[in-house]
Structure formats: C-alpha cells, structure tokens
Amino acid sequence: MATRQGLDAETVLQAAIELADKQGIEQLSLAALATKLTIKTPSLYNHIKGLPDLRKQLSKRGLLLVKETMIEAVIGKAEDEALLAAGVAYVDFARKQPGLYEAISALPDYEDPELKEVGAGVVSFLLRILAPYGLSEEDALHVVRGFRSMVHGFASLEHRNGFRMGLDRDESLRRLLQTYLRGLRADTGREK
C-alpha cells in the first residue's frame, strides 16, 4: 500500500477549488475530487463533512477572496474611482476563479451564520467606500444593493455566455458603473 500523504482540510479545499474552476461547480463531485487527490472517496470524510459542507466552504472562501480582491483594488482610490475599481475587480475575480465565483452564487441561501458574517464583511467594505458620499445610512444601503446587483448580474451573465454580441465587455461594465455613478451624483446634487 502506498504511504499515506497526510492530506489536510486546506489541501482538499484547494483541490476542490481547482476542480470547480476547471469544470464548473456542478461537476465538482466527491468522486472526481478523490481521484484528483489519489485517494478513495470515503477517505475524504476525514477532512470534510460531506459535499454540502464542501460547497459551503467554497462559498465562504470565494466571498473572502472577492472581498480581498476588491480591497486591494481600491488602494489609493476614493469615491467614483474606488467604486469603479471595486466593481471591475469583482468581475475580474469571477473571470479568474469561475468555479469559486459560482460557488458563491450557486448557494441555496445565505442562512448559514459563517456565510452571513463573511457577506456582512463585504457589505461593510462597500459602506466604507461610500462614506465620502455623505449618504444617509438608508440611502447608502440601497446603493450597496444596487452595486452588488450590477456587478453580480454582470459577472453572472458573462459567465454563462449571456453576452453574445461582439461588443467589448469591459467597456459594457465600465459604462454600467459609470452611468450609475453619474446618476448617483445627480440624485444627491453633488454633480461635478
């Protein structure tokens, strides 16, 4: 018998992420994952609780990484420039880690406490970017919802080949965000 390799939960998760990114979250099976790790399927249960648990881990990791990516993208930026950079970083993340991104959005729902917490982290990051706009708390929360809708919707449609015309997609995203931001300036009477 081969010497055991001493897998741990993180290695298993990384392998799952690779599989998901390569083949899509739907195709991520414990059977395929075990094969990739050169172990038998039941051995996975030493490291994960089961397939639903694994998918939850992917979602959580995805949310954490997309937030980090946005944080990194807004360094040295503020206001519209920061929001635009965050939006582009979000969509870019979905492009580079499609499986991980799918894991976020393929989640049945966000009721899980751990996921709630990570999701709340993303929201509070966005609220901080919005701070200089001087919006009321309620207004800011509506804007956060709008921002998330735009970038998630864009990433999701793009991922499913929903944009079929031969039209530059980066340009579409930039325009979407800029048009929205311009409207926001107009709404709040802070037009430049």
What is the per-residue DSSP string for 24-91? -GGG--HHHHHHHTTS-GGGGGGT-S-HHHHHHHHHHHHHHHHHHHHHHHTTT--HHHHHHHHHHHHH
Residue 105's binding partner out of its own copies, DNA, none, with CB under 5 to 8 Å set by partner kind: its own copies
Nearer to its own copies, 47 or 158 (CB): 158
Least separation in angstroms between CB 189 and its own copies: 12
Residue type, position 64, single letter: L
Q: Is 14 in the site for DNA (CB under 7 A)?
A: no
> 118 CB contacts (<8 Å, ≥6 apart)?
60, 63, 64, 67
Residue 120's binding partner out of DNA, its own copies, none, with CB under 5 to 8 Å set by partner kind: its own copies
Token digits for 27? Answer: 């195709």
Token digits for 44? Answer: 């996975």
Measured CA to CA, the distance from residue 163 to residue 95 in angstroms comes to: 14
CB atoms within 10 A of CB 89: 20
3-state secondary structure of 2: coil
Residue 75's binding partner out of its own copies, DNA, none, with CB under 5 to 8 Å set by partner kind: none
**Per-residue x/- marks for DNA, 28-67, CB under 7 A?**
-xxxx-x---xxxxxx-xxx--xxx---------------
Q: Which residues bind its own copies (CB under 8 A)?
A: 24, 26, 105-111, 116, 119-120, 123, 138, 141-143, 145-146, 148-154, 156-157, 160-165, 167, 169, 171-172, 175-176, 178-184, 186-187, 191
Residue 7's binding partner out of its own copies, DNA, none, with CB under 5 to 8 Å set by partner kind: DNA
Least separation in angstroms between CB 157 and its own copies: 6
Please give the residue ranges that form the binding site for DNA (CB under 7 A).
1, 3-8, 29-32, 34, 38-43, 45-47, 50-52
